[in-house]
């Protein structure tokens, strides 16, 4: 029975994490599609280097397209940021599948570490994201759908305290991901402390 539930959960992750519909439609014509890709690639780079405030005109220049083409595909800076962000979230959601093969608590923690690592690296990007936007809310929903089963499994095994919801766990992890740490290893260490808190029985 538990096996059946787990398989069901696995199946869900695949469908639930499909975020493709949130993306700006990729143009059909070959040259236009090439431009679309070039803009996204240049944006990813520019946002990583200069933060979410990177000049759009420079992104267009780096992509080898006119500024009008950039705006035609991504009408606002926000839409562009979202489209870069969605890709990262999809990667993390996929990782939840692998985590299912580990022991309950180990699986949850491994996935959370992965989440912190990926999202933490994209911190300046996420800072430029509108937290009320459909895309952001959908990304969150997808992440919860990916992590929820992992948490429940660990709680059923009594390896994680029962008085926390996936929303609490994700916000704790998000906070550590977006917090400022001079070295990645310190973020790791602090995350470990926080995860020890998740293992502690309440009281």
Partner DNA sequence: ACTCTAGTGATAGTTGCCCTCCGCTTGCTA
Partner DNA sequence: TAGCAAGCGGAGGGCAACTATCACTAGAGT
Interface residue list for DNA (CB under 7 A): 27-32, 35, 53-57, 64-69, 71-73, 75-77
Contacts of 152 (CB under 8 A, 6+ apart): none
Could you say which of 127, 137, 157, 184 contacts its own copies (CB under 8 A)? 127
3-class state of residue 158 by DSSP:
coil
Residue 62 partner contact from DNA, its own copies, none using kind-dependent CB cut-offs of 5 to 8 Å: none
Residue 196 CB burial class (10 angstroms; 0-12, 13-18, ≥19): exposed
Which residue lies nearer to DNA by CB, 52 or 150?
52
Which residue lies nearer to its own copies by CB, 11 or 55?
55
Which residue lies nearer to its own copies by CB, 35 or 155?
155
Stretch that binds its own copies, among 74-82, 83-91, 150-158, 181-189 (CB under 8 A): 181-189
To its own copies, the closest distance from the beta carbon of 84 in angstroms equals: 19
Which residue lies nearer to DNA by CB, 77 or 105?
77
Give the Cα separation of 27 and 30 in Å (integer). Answer: 8
Give the Cα separation of 37 and 43 in Å (integer). Answer: 10
Output helix, strand, coil percentages for the chain, rounded to the nearest 5.
75, 0, 25
- DSSP result, 41-53: HHHHHHHHHH-TT
Binding site for its own copies (CB under 8 A): 127, 131, 161, 164, 167-168, 171-172, 174-176, 178-181, 186, 189-190, 193-200, 202
């Amino acid at each position: 029975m538990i096996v059946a539930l787990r398989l069901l959960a696995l199946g869900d992750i695949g469908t639930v994490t499909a975020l493709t519909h949130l993306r700006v439609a990729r143009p059909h014509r070959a040259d236009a599609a090439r431009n679309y890709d070039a803009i996204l690639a240049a944006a990813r780079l520019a946002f990583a280097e200069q933060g979410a405030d990177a000049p759009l005109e420079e992104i267009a220049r780096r992509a080898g397209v006119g500024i009008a083409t950039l705006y035609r595909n991504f009408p606002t800076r926000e839409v562009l940021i979202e489209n870069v962000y969605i890709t990262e979230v999809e990667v993390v959601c996929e990782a939840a599948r692998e985590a299912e093969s580990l022991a309950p608590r180990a699986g949850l923690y491994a996935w959370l570490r992965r989440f912190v690592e990926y999202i933490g690296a994209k911190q300046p990007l996420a800072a430029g994201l509108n937290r009320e936007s459909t895309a952001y809310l959908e990304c969150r929903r997808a992440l919860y759908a990916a992590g929820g089963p992992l948490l429940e499994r660990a709680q059923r095994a009594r390896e994680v305290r029962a008085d926390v919801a996936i929303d609490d766990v994700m916000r704790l992890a998000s906070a550590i991901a977006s917090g400022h740490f001079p070295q990645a290893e310190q973020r790791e260490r602090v995350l470990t402390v926080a995860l020890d808190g998740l293992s502690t029985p309440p009281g």
